[in-house]
Structures are given as structure tokens and as C-alpha cells.
Amino acid sequence: MSKKVLTQEGFDKLMLELEGLKTDGRIRVAERIKTAKEYGDLSENAEYQEAKEERAFIEGRIMELEHLTKTSTIVQANSGGETVGVGCKVKVEKDGLQSEFTIVGSTEADPANNRISLESPIGEALMDKKIGDIIEVELPSGVTHYKVLEIN
């Protein structure tokens, strides 16, 4: 398994989520289990079963986040550089329309908010490009071209 890449911002968000799950999440689910046990027969107690499932989910997410935060490489944002890198905001033009993307690690990707993974087709094609470069990207809808306008 290859190392994951995180920006400092992404790492900080994961650490905040991890701390919340270890404290508030565990406390909340423990209280749910305790309350559900008071209802009696555990074999037919849906609230108890749901609380146990939530506990399993929280513990699984804690393990995932601990592994991710221990094994990921944190990269410094390459903002203001001459080439596109992780953490950069890149303004591109396609068919006369401009878009702006932030290049992030795969765990931080959020395409709806223009945060694209460096492992995505567009992110991968943009890496190490300079202002004025034209990239060709193979997408499910076909080949498309982007021109790099700005790198921040």
C-alpha cells in the first residue's frame, strides 16, 4: 500500500476528527449502550444493537484515522510556486470557461468544492505543469484539454 499524501490542513482536520471520536464519540455511544441495556432483553433490543453497531463504526474509524495520521506524508502547500503541486490552487481554462481547483491528497478530495486529488486524472495531469501549459486529460466523456492560467 502506497503512502497517502496530506496537506497540513487535511492532517489537522483528521486529527480533530480523531480526537472528537476518542472523546465525545466514545462517551456518547457508551451512554447509548448503557441506556439501551436498561430496557431489558438485549436479544430483541433494537436500540442496543444500533448502539453496538455505532460503537463498532466509531472504533473502526478511530483505527483508520490513527493509521492514516501515522503513515501519511504531510506535504507543505506549494502555493506561489512556478509549478503545480499539492496544496496549490490552479486556475484553468477549458473551452473558454475558467475553473479553479485545489490539488490535495486522495483522502482530502472533495470534487463538489473543487478540491481534486493528485491521483485523479485532472490532478495527475496538472502536477508539475507551469502557467501557459496545456494538458490533455482522458475522461469518461472523452479527451479534454485544459490550459493553466494561474498557480497560487
pLDDT tens, position by position, 59-103: 999 999 999 999 999 988 766 678 999 999 999 999 999 999 999
- Give the pLDDT band of residue 41 (cuts 50, 70, 90): confident
Q: Which of 52, 74, 96 is the last residue of a domain?
A: 74
Average pLDDT, the chain: 92
Q: What's the pTM? A: 0.79
User: Is residue 20 located within the same domain as residue 56?
Assistant: yes
pLDDT at 78: 64
Q: Which of 74, 100, 126 is the last residue of a domain?
A: 74
pLDDT at 38: 86
Domain of 123 in residue numbering reads as 78-151
The per-residue b/e assignment along 117-138, b for 16 or more CB within 10 angstroms, e otherwise, is bbebebbebbbebeeeeebebe
Cβ 90 vs Cβ 126: under 8 Å: yes
Instruction: Specify the number of domains making up the chain.
Output: 2
* CATH number for the domain that contains residue 42: 1.10.287.180
